[in-house]
Amino acid sequence: MGFTWTIVALIVALGLTWRYLGSYMAAVFDGRVHFLGWVERPIYRALGTSPEHEQTWKRYAGSLIIFSGVSLGLTYLIFRIQGSLPLNPQHLGAVPPALSFNTAVSFLTNTNWQAYGGETTMSYFSQMTLVVQQFVSPAVGIVAALVLVRGFSRRNSSTIGNFWVDLTRCLFYILLPIAFIAGIIFVGQGAVETLAGTVSIHDALNGVTQTIARGPIGFMEPIKQLGTNGGGFLNQNGATPFENPTALTNWLSIYLILSIPFALTYTFGKMVGSIRHGATLLVAMLVIFGSFLAITSYAEHQGNPAVAAAGIVSQPTGNMEGKEVRFGDTASALYGVTSTNTSTGSIDTAYDSLNPMGGFSMLGGMMLGEVSPGGTGSGLYTILLMAIIAVFIGGLMIGRTPEYLGKRIQAKEIKLAGLGVLVMPLIVLILTGIAVSVHAGRIGPLNAGPHGFSEILYAFTSQANNNGSAFGGISANTPFYNVAGVIDLLVGRFGVMIPVLALGGALAAKQVVPAGLGTFRTDNTMFVGLVVGVIVVVGGLTFFPALALGPIVEQLSHGKFF
């Protein structure tokens, strides 16, 4: 289908999803959906809990950390002993300790940063273990956002739900059914799904034998996209027809990536009793997303400067270096912006081959905090942190006590929101500064100059934002980048999530203040502008100097900004 019809179909599908999936998720988390009660009840009995046993935010956070720790340990163990486990037709040995730990942390944090080639490193059993993490890690993000939503919807409450109940409902009522249906479509379109090993094909004419990797790929794809995970079975990710065989699967990938993050804004509005407030956040997300899409599409529709320098002046199809011919420059730009603005990180093109401003857009979407619309759950709770800061600023401007949905934003709330917003840029800039200052960091990028700096900056930005994509020109499987990456991944995930849970608990304990004539409205166009402004200012002031040393100076070196 043409690009125009791709956009039209995407808007219509996401509009319906926003309304109906958003409403359905609110019903699930409110406990109004019970058709899988026969699955839920045995799980609750085994865990010694029930929907009636709610937790304080501290108990909720403790359950989340315990679950994450156990998941991390089991995943790491499987990687280390994969040579002795079944479903290993290639007889691959144990994954090295540093890479095992980096990968286990990466999938635990919904990042799926891959410093390895899946087909040459991971057995089928290990890959299936990662699929499990691709279900549970987005579920953890969603339930964390749910705590903050309940903070606004409840009053005088010391509890904010039950982690085990929320996690179970998210998995069985939302992620598993959607991923299963989409998996049938992917396999029907030609995505490979087999437990057979590699196949060798001999070209008798040229005397060349090619070994082709395959495996249980097709059903990994939907949850890779739906859960904004991004980690692929094969090293080429969505650029290979084994994972992404047709234009339909490419479109479906984009739709799945955006569906839950956008729909959660309706869920938020439904649960707090004001759809307008959810729509306000949605519009703020769309403004930022549309801006990055316009920048990237325009940048990639221009010719590649390196190709032009080689004497090929005419490039009518735009910058096709590193892109799939079957998708083209504009559809690739849409996929890239979708992936980097949602903490997904899956790719159908080589980001290292983007024009400088195309790379700027990929970086920018992450540097603004992954809020347009961000990852499953993480996008909603991060933009709510930004909204709280916007309310605080707006309240100061009109001389009123800041309030959001009737909850007063006082010193404790603004400190927690500020901490959640500043954790990511701090860890990114600190680790990037260390990497460019030590030999172990400087030997990572394959390019020199500003592009090499962009590769380092992109790597740490991607990991701290739990995105997982890379410029592709950095050698990440080294002791330095594996260890630094683990720090980046954990701080970027839990350094934001824990303040969010604390903030949800603090808000839930508050009483609702009735709106008055002087109440600062937070459900109109002006507030959209204020939220977008806060997001851009926070991201811009923090990261602009770093961007100026990377993609911006690289673009200017070609003699023009666009």
pLDDT tens column, 218-234: 999 999 999 999 999 99
Q: At what angle do helices 328-340 and 247-272 cross, to 10 degrees?
A: 30
pLDDT tens column, 176-217: 999 999 999 999 999 999 999 899 888 777 888 888 999 999
Q: How many CB atoms lie within 10 A of CB 86?
A: 9
Structure-token pair, residue 100: 């095992």
**What is the distance between the alpha carbons of residues 69 and 71, in angstroms, rounded to a whole number?**
5
Q: Are strands 199-203 and 208-212 parallel, antiparallel or unpaired?
A: antiparallel
Residue 223: CB partners within 8 Å, gap ≥ 6? Answer: 131, 134, 135, 175, 179, 183, 229
Dihedral, CA of residue 522, residue 527, residue 532 and residue 533, to nearest 10 = -120
Give the distance from CA 384 to its chain's centroid.
16
Residue 235: CB partners within 8 Å, gap ≥ 6? Answer: 114, 117, 118, 119, 120
Dihedral, CA of residue 548, residue 550, residue 552 and residue 558, to nearest 10 = 140
Q: Kindly report the pTM of this predicted structure.
A: 0.95
**What is the distance between the alpha carbons of residues 370 and 384, in angstroms, rounded to a whole number?**
12
pLDDT tens column, 471-530: 877 888 999 999 999 999 999 999 999 999 999 999 999 999 887 777 788 999 999 999
Positive/negative CA dihedral, 286, 173, 50, 59: negative
**What is the distance between the alpha carbons of residues 420 and 503, in angstroms, rounded to a whole number?**
10
CA dist 13 → 4, 98, 165, 442, 555 (Å): 14, 42, 30, 45, 36
DSSP letter assigned to residue 550: I
Mean pLDDT of 342-348: 94
pLDDT tens column, 122-162: 999 999 999 999 999 999 999 999 999 999 999 999 999 99
Structure-token pair, residue 471: 């410029």
Q: What is the pLDDT of residue 408?
A: 93
Better-scored residue on pLDDT, 239 or 310 = 239
Q: Are the C-beta atoms of 68 and 140 separated by less than 8 Å?
A: yes
Q: Are the C-beta atoms of 15 and 21 separated by less than 8 Å?
A: no
Q: What is the pLDDT of residue 65?
A: 98
Mean pLDDT of 440-459: 92
Q: Does residue 562 register a pLDDT over 70?
A: no
- In the chain, the largest separation of any two C-alpha atoms, in whole Å, equals 83
Mean pLDDT of 548-558: 85
Q: Are the C-beta atoms of 403 and 519 separated by less than 8 Å?
A: yes
**What is the distance between the alpha carbons of residues 137 and 105, in angstroms, rounded to a whole number?**
11
Residue with tokens 């309310």: 391
Strand segments, DSSP code E, in 291-404 are 403-404
Strand segments, DSSP code E, in 128-232 are 199-203, 208-212
Q: What is the pLDDT of residue 559?
A: 58
Q: What is the pLDDT of residue 1?
A: 56
Mean pLDDT of 360-384: 95
**What is the distance between the alpha carbons of residues 251 and 102, in angstroms, rounded to a whole number?**
31
Stated as kind and residue range, the H or E segment containing 407 is strand 407-408
**What is the distance between the alpha carbons of residues 261 and 264, in angstroms, rounded to a whole number?**
5
What is the average pLDDT value for the chain, to the nearest integer? Answer: 93
